[in-house]
Structures are given as C-alpha cells and as structure tokens.
C-alpha cells in the first residue's frame, strides 16, 4: 500500500421504490423518487469512475444498504470499486464504522461522500484530498443544513454519535464536534442536496435526468445467440433507456412473453447500414448508441455517453478499442485503430459510435447499406461538430481476425478504406470483401468494423 493511501467511501441505498428519498417521494410519488435517485446514484458513480481514472492511487468503496442486496449492486452497478454493507443502527454510527473499517485496512486519508448531490463533481474530491494533505479536515456543507462530504486523516467518532440526522443543525454540530476533537476544519463550497421536490425542480430539464438512451444493435444472428450479450447490457441501463435489436429479414423475433420491457426487436432488410437506420427510426431515445453484437461497452457506458452527448460541440463519440480475448498482435491493431481515431477522427463501428438523435438525421443516417457505413457516417457527422473518443475501452471480439488471419484481415480493411475514398460503390466493396453479392443467402456475419 502507498505511503499515504487514499480512499473514497460512497454511501448509498439500493434504489427501490418506497425505500429511498421519503421526503422527495411525498411530493412526486415513490416510483418517481426511486427513478430520480437511481439516476443520482448512476451519475455519482460515473463521476467516481472518472476520478479513479485521473487518480489511480485512490481506492473506491461503496457502502450500501440494505445488506442483502450485494448481488443486485454487483450486477447493475459494476465499476472500479468494492461493495461493503453499512453496519449500525443510525446513519452516524454507520458512517463511523465505515470510516474505521477503511482506516483499519491501512488507509490514511479517507473521504466520505453521499449520492444526494444535485451536481456531483470530481473537483470536490480533489479539494478534499488537498485539504487532508495539509493536515486539514474538509467538511462540505449542504444548503439544507447537513453535509455532503467529510474527510479524515485519523479515526474520530465524536461527530457521528448523534442519533438524529436529516435536520438543519447537522453541519453546525459536526463542525463543532470535529474542532472539539482537535481537528482543524476546512469548510468546502456549499452544495445542493436533492431531498425534497423543490430541490429537484431545477434538475427536471437537466440533460442527465431528461434525455434517454437507445442502444441500436444490428445482427444477422437469431435472438437466442445474442440474448446473453443483451442481458449483460440491460442491467446497466438508466431508467427509460432501451435496447433496439434490428434483426435481418428472415429471422423471427421472440414472442412477446419472452421479451424484456427494455428490449425491443424489429426486422429490417439485410445490410448493416439498413438495419442501423431501421433501429434508429424505431428508437425512442434522444441519444443513439450503435453497437455491434460482439462489442461489450465499458462499465458506466451510459454515463459516459450522456456526459459527452450533452456537449453541443461534439457531433459523434466513440470508445477506445480493445479486443477480448487479445494477443500482442491484436493489441497492436487496437493501438493503431485508437491512434487513427484520434488523429483523423475516423473510428470504426466496433468502437461504439454514439450521437444525439437530431445529429443522426442531420447527417443523413447511415448512407452506405453494406460496408463502410460507419466511416461514411462519421465523415458526415464531422461536418457538424467534433469527434470525441472516450478513454474507456470497449471490448470487441477478434473473431473476424482469427477467421481471416490477422495480416489478411488488417490489409483488407485498409484496402477497402482506400477504395472507398477512391469512390468504389458500396456493392462493389462488398463483393470484393465477401466474394458474393450482398443479397445472396448466408451473407456476412463478420463485418470489418
């Protein structure tokens, strides 16, 4: 462990209707309160994942309640953190025990935060750790009289012995108790918690709470062949998000009773560009994420997509490419793909392209029906804004490289790119790549990107 080991402790409840945000629920209803709180949790954990990437020396712990929900949390909220149950009769005792548990593991600087902030920021955590490095005790006041953050460089139980919490005197008594324990308190910026309907009202039209994500997945495989892939994605969806699977014609979608509420199946003419367009037309979300059926996006992908999509200067985004399983040669191919995407703004579709719904149609959708639909689409989007690559890896299958051979597949991809820029027709590119007409039976299942 590092000489000065640092840890962030996040306190959360499992977002279940009737079990969270009682004051908020009194005004908006238990279902809506649970929806709002789930978005707050996902947004906070997204900010934590960003912070972890910038500060890999910091260890993250998520302390949760109720204690029997760990499997649900691991499935729905995966990330670079460890889940630990909260222990204690009241909130103060649970915070004290959590801090003591982390100190006992050898950490010297600990910062505890909640999941109630209207606008969580990594800068808050940076300020807290800077204070601890100076021997100060950071304490973040909430506008309702509570606190949203406390940092300690040694155990201190006195501020957490009170049984009454949720009042407008909590910050003041905590500050006094810390000072009485010999700690020099540094008051951080005041922040807004979301506990009541009036606290949420300014957030009602905020991008993270208003906009929905539609994941569009074209496939030539039957539903049972992609079901496990879909079930990996579905738990990480935010409230209101959906997955639209565009099956190629001739494939029968599942019966209604077999469908999830978040997954919809449509049938389209065969051809990845045509299937992607069909999925986009059927999508109800204002953000579109286009995935291949063998590309698994990173944890917190819905947060990352939202974070980038809210910037009007960005027209299209993608993830960093990685292969799973991989080899040194495949790692080299992935590094080149990421370099190409960064230098020339030309990612392939297996990097998980995403954009706002309006940008998609302004760009004309996917104009090429069979091949190079991704490159052509990105080129059209670039006329409307920047291309941004998220430094989180999407893991795609190397099947097509193993099937064709690494060198051959790589050379074919670059030759097709060159011929595309020289003006060869989409149908001609397809014939060259697959040796058949695109409408022939048993057409491709291993596209180039």
**What average pLDDT does the structure give for the chain?**
92
Other CB atoms within 10 A of residue 196 CB: 15
CA distances from 181 to 140, 145, 165, 169, 176 (A): 18, 21, 20, 18, 9
Its CATH class, for the domain covering 6-203, is: alpha beta
Distance CA 184, CA 34 (A): 37
> Tens digit of pLDDT for each residue in 278-333?
999 999 999 999 999 999 999 999 999 999 999 999 999 999 999 999 999 999 99
What would the pLDDT profile of 102-161 be if each residue is shown by its tens digit?
999 999 999 999 999 999 999 999 999 999 999 999 999 999 999 999 999 999 999 999
Rounded to whole angstroms, the Cα distance separating 161 from 176 reads 13
Q: How far apart are CA 214 and CA 24, in angstroms?
A: 28
Q: Are strands 242-248 and 295-296 parallel, antiparallel or unpaired?
A: unpaired
- Kindly list the domain boundaries of the chain, sorted by start residue: 6-203, 211-434
Q: Phi/psi class of residue 421: alpha, beta or left (left: φ > 0; alpha: ψ in -120 to 50)?
A: alpha
For 90-101, write each residue's pLDDT tens digit.
999 999 999 999
Degrees to nearest 5, angle at CA 316 with 375 and 248: 55
Q: How far apart are CA 79 and CA 232, in angstroms?
A: 14
In DSSP terms, 139 is beta-bridged to: 150, 187
Number of other residues whose CB lies within 10 A of the CB of residue 120: 23
Q: Decide: 1 and 106 in contact? Cβ < 8 Å.
A: yes
**% pLDDT > 90, the chain:** 82
- Counting Cβ atoms within 10 Å, is residue 224 exposed (0-12), middle (13-18) or buried (19+)? exposed
Topology of domain 211-434 in CATH is Spore Coat Polysaccharide Biosynthesis Protein SpsA; Chain A (3.90.550)
- Cβ atoms of 42 and 238 within 8 Å: the answer is yes
Residue 117, token pair as written in the block: 């902030």
Q: How many angstroms separate the CA atoms of 290 and 300, rounded?
A: 16
List the single range of 79-83, 182-186, 333-337, 356-360 with lowest mean pLDDT.
333-337
218 neighbors 275 (Cβ within 8 angstroms):
yes
What are 249's two structure tokens? 């014609």
Give the pLDDT score at 443.
43
């Amino acid at each position: 462990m590092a000489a000065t080991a640092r840890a962030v402790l996040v306190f959360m409840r499992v977002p279940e209707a009737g079990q969270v945000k009682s004051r908020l629920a009194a005004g908006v209803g238990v279902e809506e309160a649970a929806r709002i709180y789930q978005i707050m949790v996902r947004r906070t954990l997204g900010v934590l994942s960003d912070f972890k990437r910038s500060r890999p020396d910091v260890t993250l712990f998520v302390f949760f309640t109720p204690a029997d929900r760990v499997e649900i949390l691991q499935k729905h909220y995966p990330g670079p953190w460890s889940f630990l149950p909260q222990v204690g009769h009241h909130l103060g005792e649970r915070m004290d025990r959590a801090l003591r548990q982390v100190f006992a593991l050898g950490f010297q600087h600990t910062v505890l935060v909640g999941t109630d902030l209207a606008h969580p920021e990594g800068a808050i955590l940076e300020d807290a750790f800077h204070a601890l490095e100076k021997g100060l005790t950071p304490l973040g006041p909430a506008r309702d009289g509570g606190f949203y953050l406390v940092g300690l460089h040694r155990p201190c139980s006195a501020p957490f012995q009170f049984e009454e919490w949720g009042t407008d005197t909590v910050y003041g008594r905590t500050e006094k108790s810390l000072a009485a324990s010999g700690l020099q308190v540094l008051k951080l910026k005041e922040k807004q918690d979301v506990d009541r309907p009036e606290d949420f009202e300014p957030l009602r039209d905020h991008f993270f709470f208003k906009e929905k994500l539609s994941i569009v997945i074209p496939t030539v495989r039957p539903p049972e062949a992609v079901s496990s892939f879909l079930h990996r994605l579905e738990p990480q969806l935010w409230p209101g998000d959906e997955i639209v699977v565009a099956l190629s014609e001739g494939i029968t979608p599942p019966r209604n009773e077999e469908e999830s509420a978040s997954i919809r199946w449509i049938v389209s003419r065969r051809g990845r560009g045509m299937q992607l367009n069909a999925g986009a037309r059927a999508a109800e979300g204002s953000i579109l994420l286009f995935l291949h059926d063998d590309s698994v996006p990173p944890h917190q992908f819905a947060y990352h997509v939202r974070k980038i999509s809210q910037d009007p200067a960005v027209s299209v985004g993608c993830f960093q490419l990685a292969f799973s399983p991989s080899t040194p040669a495949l790692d080299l191919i992935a590094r080149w793909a990421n370099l190409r995407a960064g230098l020339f703004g030309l990612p392939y579709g297996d990097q998980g392209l995403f954009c706002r719904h309006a940008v998609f149609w302004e760009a004309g959708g996917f104009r090429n029906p069979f091949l190079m639909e991704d490159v052509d689409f990105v080129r059209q989007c670039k006329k409307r804004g920047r291309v941004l690559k998220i430094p989180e890896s999407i893991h795609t299958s190397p099947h097509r490289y193993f099937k064709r051979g690494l060198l051959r597949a790589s050379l074919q991809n670059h030759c097709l790119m060159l011929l595309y820029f020289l003006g060869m027709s989409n149908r001609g590119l397809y014939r060259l790549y697959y040796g058949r007409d695109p409408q022939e039976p048993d057409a491709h299942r291993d596209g180039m990107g």
